[in-house]
Structure 1
C-alpha cells in the first residue's frame, strides 16, 4: 500500500504554486500547528514535488523556500512515516541544490557521513532482519543454482554481491547440497568484496560450517568492488578453472556498472551546474537579473577562452541541452563488456537480483517521482515491521544509514557518483540478451519455497512472490507492487561452448 494514494498526490500537486510560497501571516512555524495531520501530509507531498521542480530549474531561492517549509513539517525522528520519508528526500534535494555550486558542495559534504560509516554494516543487518527481500533473493538464487548444478561433482560459485553479500546465503546452500541425492559436490566459493575484514570473517564462518557438514570446500577472496574488476582479466581474477561447473550470483549490485563509464567522461562546463550569475538570474526573475546574465554572456563570448563561453551559456541553450543530455545518457559500455566477459566464462547459470524500479532515467524529475513512490513503499514496509516487532530503533538506523544514502544516490548525485541506477527487469532483459545471454526459467518449485518462507516468518498477506508475465522470473511484491526482481541467465545457445568450462 502506498503511503500516499494517487488522489492525495494529485490534489497536492495540482495546487497553485503560489500557495506554496505564500508566507503565513503568523510567520514560520505557527502555520504548521493550524494544519491537521492529513493536511500536513498533503502539504508535504506538494512541497516535495514543487521543490524538485524548482531544483531541476535551478531556482535557488524558490527551492530553498520549499525546503524551509518541508523542514518544519518533516524530521528523521518524526512519529509518522511520511514525515521521515519527506525528511530523507528533503536532504537529497538540498544536496542536489548545493551541487549547483560544486566547490561549496565538495567542501561541506565530502566528509559529512564519515562519523557514521562504522554503523552501516549493523544497519544493513537490521534491514535483512526486518524485511524479507534479501532472504527471498538468497533462497531463490540458491534454488536456481541447485537445479542448474544437478549431478555436478565440482561446483564453483562466484558471489559478486559485495555489500549485499551474506554468509547466511551460502550456509543455506551447504545444507541443501548436503541433502541432495548422491551427496554434496566439491564446492568452491569466490567472494568479491572491498572489505578485507569482511572477507576474512566470511572465510572463517563458511569453512567452519562446511567442515561440520562434511562438505569438501574451498574459499577464495577477491578484495575489490564489482566496478573495479577488469573484464579482460575476469577469468584470472575469479580463478575460474576448467572442469568446474560455474554459477554466478549478484544481488543488488549489477546496476552500479552503469555508472562506471561516467568516470572517464569529459566534463562539459555548465552541463551539470549553473554559474552563480545564472543562479541569481533564475532565483530573481526580474528584468535586471535576466539583463545581467545576457550582458555577461555577451562579454564572455568575446573571450578567446572557449570554455568560458560554454560555461556562460544559458541552460535553455540548445548546445548546453545537448551536452547535458549526452552526459546523462545511460552509459552501458562497462556493463556490456562485463557481461560479455561473463558469457566467455560459460557459466551454467547467472542469477541476478535487482530493485524493480526505474532510477536510471536521464530526466531528473522522472527519477525523483519514481524514487519517491518506490521508497515510500520501503518506508511503509519498515514501519509495519517496526510496529509488529517493536524495533523502532533498528528501523530508524535503516532509514537513516541505508535508505537515506540510497535516495541521495538516486536524487542528489550525477555522473560517475550516481551509483544507484536501478532498472526494471524488462530493461535488464534487453541488456542481458544484447550481451549474448538467454533466460533460464525460475521454477515453480522455487516460488513455492519462497512463499513457504514468507508464511513461516509471518510475512504472508502483505508480501507475495509472483512470476513475471513470461513465467521465467520472480517479483517480490509489497501489496502487489513489485519491489525486487530475480532472474536467471546463461550464455545463449550457439554462442558458448556449453555448460562446462573450457580453457584454463
Structure 2
C-alpha cells in the first residue's frame, strides 16, 4: 500500500492523506467497486499488416461503439448512437424526481434531434417544450437545456452539409440561452457553439485554418508546468484525477519493490505531484536501504519550467530526509533526436516509465511517438504505467468526433459544477483555458491543424503491440487505492470504475474519463 505523509504539502499544495489503517475502509470500498476481482480475459490480437500509423490512430469506430452508417441517413445514424445507450426508465425517473443529469440532458436532446431530423419539416423548429406531454415533468430550465442540445446537434449536422447560414441561425438561438457562467449544459453549449462558429469561419474562408491550432495547446501545456491555484484546485477536488493517479503509482511501486536502485523516467513531469507520491512510497518500503532514487524528466520544450519542478522535488526529498534522490532532465528539441544515452542509465538500477497524459500529444506526429517508444523498448523497463483519456476524439468523421466530445466534456462540466461550484474562479479558468481551447481544436480543426487528439484503450493496445508490449493486471492493492481515494471526496460516489480487459476505466457518473493501464515488454 502507498504510504502518504503530510510533508507532501510543503511544496505542492494540500494533498489528501492516503494512508489509513482503519480496516473499516476496506468494507466501504465495495461501494464504488464496479469491476470484478477476476479480470475479463480479452487480450487483443496483435495488429497485423498495419501499413501506417494513420490507419491506426484515425480510428473510425463510432462513439460508444454504436454503428453509424451513412451521414445522409440521419435517423439511423443518431438513433443507433443515442437510443440503445439510454435507460428510458431511469431517465423518466430522473425527470420525475427533478434530478436530470447533464448526461441525461444530452441524450434527451439527441433523441429530440432524431425526431427533428426524421420529420418531414425541414425548417428550423423551436418548440416551446420538448417531448410535449409525455415529458411534462421537465421544469422550464431543463426544457431549455434539452432544446439547446437539440439545436446544437442540428447546427453541427447543417455544417456537415455545408448549410452554413442555417447552422448559424441555430447557433444564434443557442447563444441566447447559453452562457459561460450558467449551468453545466449552458456552459457546455457555449463552448461548443463558439467552436462551431470557428469551424464555419474556417470552411467559408473567413479565417485561416491555423486559428484554433497549436498556440492554444502550447499555452495549456505551459500552464500545466507552473504550480497555480487553478490546477491544484482541480486536482484536489475532482475525485477521478486522484482515483486514477494513486493506483498507477501503486502499480509502479509494486514493480520496483525491494530494489535498492530505482530510476523513474517520467514522460510528462508537469508539476511533479505524482513524483512526490512515488518518492515517498519507494522510500517508505520497510527494511530497505535505498541507495539511489533517480527521476529523469523527458521533454521537448519549457526546459526552465521542468528544471523548476526538479528544484521543488529536491526540496521535497530533503523534507523527507531522502538523501539518495537525484533529478535529471533529458531535453531534446525534437523527439526524433531522443536517444537512450540521454537517460544516464545504470545497469544495476530498476527502470520504470511513468506516462500520464504523455502520449496523446504525439498522435499527430506519429514518427516522433514511434521513435520514443523504440527507445523505451530498448531500455526494457520493468513496467510502463500509462494514463490517457478514455475517449475516441480523433475520428476523421466530424460527426463522430463532435458527439463523443459532447458527452466527454459534458461529464467534465458536470463534475466541475458538483466539485468546485459555479461561482468558483478556478471553475471559470479551467473551462475557458483548458476545456474551451481543447473543444475548439477538436471541433473546429481538421487534418494536421487539429492538435488535440485522444484515442481509447483499444487503439493504444494495437499500437503497443507493435513493440512487443504485454498488458499486466492491476493488483488488488492498486484497485483498492482507486476506491479509497474516491471515498475521500464528498462527490466520490459519482466516480465510477470499470474494467476493460486489464485496463481500469475511471469515469464520472458512468461516462469514461480516463484509462489506466500497466505494461511490460516481452
TM-score (norm 1): 0.73
Matched, 1:479 2:504: no
| Compared CA separation, residues 335 and 204, structure 1 to 2 (3 A) | closer
Give the conservation status (yes or no) of the 8 Å contact 1:178–1:213.
no
Give the conservation status (yes or no) of the 8 Å contact 1:476–1:483.
yes
Query: Which residue is equivalent to 2:403?
Result: 369
Query: Which residue is equivalent to 1:359?
Result: 393
* Distance in 2 of aligned mates of 1:9 and 1:23: 15
* Distance in 2 of aligned mates of 1:10 and 1:41: 13
State the 1:334 CA deviation.
4.1
Matched, 1:347 2:381: yes
Secondary structure in 1 matching 2:203: coil
Secondary structure in 2 matching 1:381: helix
Query: Which residue is equivalent to 2:208?
Result: 105
| Compared CA separation, residues 105 and 77, structure 1 to 2 (3 A) | farther
Q: 2:327 aligns with which of 207, 219, 224?
A: 219
State the 1:22 CA deviation.
5.8
* Distance in 2 of aligned mates of 1:407 and 1:205: 32
Give the conservation status (yes or no) of the 8 Å contact 2:257–2:282.
no
Question: What are the within-5 Å matches in structure 2 for residues 235-274 of structure 1?
Answer: 235-261=340-366
Measured against aligned partners, the alpha-carbon deviations of 1:428-461 in whole angstroms (never above 9, x if no partner) come to 1121112211112211101112211221233431
Secondary structure in 2 matching 1:14: helix
State the 1:60 CA deviation.
2.2
Measured against aligned partners, the alpha-carbon deviations of 1:212-262 in whole angstroms (never above 9, x if no partner) come to 32320111123458xx312x643133333433211111112312221115x
* Distance in 2 of aligned mates of 1:113 and 1:490: 34
Secondary structure in 1 matching 2:207: helix
Measured against aligned partners, the alpha-carbon deviations of 1:164-203 in whole angstroms (never above 9, x if no partner) come to x232211112221122031334111111342234223211
Moved more, 447-456 or 344-353: 447-456
Give the conservation status (yes or no) of the 8 Å contact 2:264–2:295.
yes
Query: Which residue is equivalent to 1:393?
Result: 425
| Compared CA separation, residues 108 and 427, structure 1 to 2 (3 A) | closer
State the 1:480 CA deviation.
2.7
Query: Which residue is equivalent to 2:258?
Result: 151
Secondary structure in 1 matching 2:197: helix
Give the conservation status (yes or no) of the 8 Å contact 1:141–1:351.
yes
Query: Which residue is equivalent to 2:20?
Result: none
Measured against aligned partners, the alpha-carbon deviations of 1:445-481 in whole angstroms (never above 9, x if no partner) come to 0111221122123343111334x243x2211122233
Measured against aligned partners, the alpha-carbon deviations of 1:40-65 in whole angstroms (never above 9, x if no partner) come to 21221111111111222222212222
Matched, 1:87 2:190: yes
Query: Which residue is equivalent to 2:240?
Result: 133
State the 1:407 CA deviation.
1.2
Query: Which residue is equivalent to 2:177?
Result: 73
Give the conservation status (yes or no) of the 8 Å contact 1:355–1:422.
yes
| Compared CA separation, residues 351 and 365, structure 1 to 2 (3 A) | same
Question: What are the within-5 Å matches in structure 2 for residues 67-466 of structure 1?
Answer: 67-78=171-182, 80-101=183-204, 104-105=207-208, 122=228, 123-161=230-268, 165-181=270-286, 182-193=288-299, 194-215=301-322, 216-223=324-331, 228-230=334-336, 233-261=338-366, 333-387=367-421, 392-466=424-498
Give the conservation status (yes or no) of the 8 Å contact 1:20–1:66.
no
* Distance in 1 of aligned mates of 2:126 and 2:491: 45
Secondary structure in 2 matching 1:87: helix
* Distance in 2 of aligned mates of 1:204 and 1:361: 40
Measured against aligned partners, the alpha-carbon deviations of 1:391-442 in whole angstroms (never above 9, x if no partner) come to 5221111111111111122211222332322111122112111221111221
State the 1:38 CA deviation.
2.7
* Distance in 2 of aligned mates of 1:137 and 1:400: 24
Give the conservation status (yes or no) of the 8 Å contact 2:106–2:407.
no
State the 1:102 CA deviation.
5.2
| Compared CA separation, residues 185 and 382, structure 1 to 2 (3 A) | farther
Give the conservation status (yes or no) of the 8 Å contact 2:209–2:445.
no
Give the conservation status (yes or no) of the 8 Å contact 1:55–1:97.
yes
State the 1:21 CA deviation.
2.9
| Compared CA separation, residues 183 and 132, structure 1 to 2 (3 A) | farther
State the 1:112 CA deviation.
9.3
| Compared CA separation, residues 342 and 110, structure 1 to 2 (3 A) | closer
* Distance in 2 of aligned mates of 1:86 and 1:416: 26
Give the conservation status (yes or no) of the 8 Å contact 2:389–2:513.
yes
Aligned residues: 402
| Compared CA separation, residues 94 and 8, structure 1 to 2 (3 A) | closer
Using CA pairs under 8 Å that are at least 6 residues apart, name the structure with larger relative contact order, 1 or 2. Answer: 2
Query: Which residue is equivalent to 2:124?
Result: 21
Query: Which residue is equivalent to 1:489?
Result: 519
Give the conservation status (yes or no) of the 8 Å contact 1:139–1:450.
yes
* Distance in 2 of aligned mates of 1:179 and 1:243: 21
| Compared CA separation, residues 425 and 363, structure 1 to 2 (3 A) | same
| Compared CA separation, residues 45 and 343, structure 1 to 2 (3 A) | same
| Compared CA separation, residues 338 and 201, structure 1 to 2 (3 A) | closer
